[in-house]
A and B are shown apart, each in its own frame.
Chain A
Amino acid sequence: DIQMTQSPSSLSASVGDRVTITCRASQTITTYLNWYQQKPGKAPKVLIYAASSLQTGVPSRFSGSGSGTDFALTITGLQPEDFATYFCQQGSSPPFTFGQGTKLEIK
């Protein structure tokens, strides 16, 4: 199975900050990498697919980058509604494993 490792596990930031969350795959997954946002008690929401494609309706302050084994999700200009937990997921081969999550909290 492909292991997905996110860092950091938690992050404190302020409204307006720029933050980056990273995700590393245990083997190459080219660009088969998706990012999700989850708020308490809600289903996850896809933000980025194929490493860098912004899902329809997602604000442009979210961006994704990377290929191979190293990926990043960047939020430029944090908004109050962005404080949530973020997960990466590889779509290269089953099982389509998720990272352990990064909890983004208000500083």
Chain B
Amino acid sequence: QVQVVQSGAEVKKPGASVKVSCNTSGYTFISYYIHWVRQAPGQGLEWVGAINPGDGSTTYAQKFKGRVILTRDTSTSTAYMEFKSLRSEDTAVYYCARDLGGWAAGLDYWGQGTLVTVSS
């Protein structure tokens, strides 16, 4: 069965970086896009970016370009999100999710979420 498991909660100071992992199993990793979505406390969902694990190509929301880097390791079926120059407003639960087919066709399997807290 498909499983998506993220790394644990992080507490960072403003200006620091964080790297969140998203380990997948139960399907062919390179065949499905992985998206990253965040949710600030009490707020809605915000799309961060996506990676094609097959060739490593990425796309990002403009507001995060230059601060977010999405990568993947096909040998371990793991996707990563590195977020740089963290600000207090980046405090959120970060989710990774598998695209059910193609490009933003719907996100069918989600990780449990990783809470990133940015505080001095």
Contact = CB atoms under 8 A, between A and B. Distances in A.
Do A and B interact? yes
Interface of A: 1, 32, 34, 36, 38, 43-46, 48-50, 55, 87, 89-92, 94-101
For A34, A45, A96, the residue with the greatest tally of chain B CB atoms inside 10 Å of its CB is A96
Interface of B: 35, 37, 44-47, 50, 59-62, 95, 97, 100, 103-108, 110-113
Nearest to A97: B47
Contacts of A34: 104-107
A101 B44 contact: yes
A40 to B, nearest CB: 10
Contacts of A55: 100, 106, 108
Contact of A94 (B37, B59, B105): B59
A100 B43 CA distance: 8
A95 B112 contact: no
B100 A46 contact: yes
Given A94-B50, A100-B44, A44 B106 contact: no
B52 to A, nearest CB: 12
A43 B113 contact: yes
A9 to B, nearest CB: 10
A87 to B, nearest CB: 6
A55 B105 CA distance: 11
Nearest to B99: A91
B104 A94 contact: yes
A97 B59 CA distance: 13
B46 A98 contact: yes
Given A36-B107, A43-B110, A44-B37, 13 more contacts: A34-B104, A38-B45, A43-B95, A43-B112, A44-B97, A44-B107, A87-B44, A89-B107, A91-B104, A91-B106, A94-B61, A95-B61, A98-B44
Contact of A50 (B44, B46, B61, B106): B106
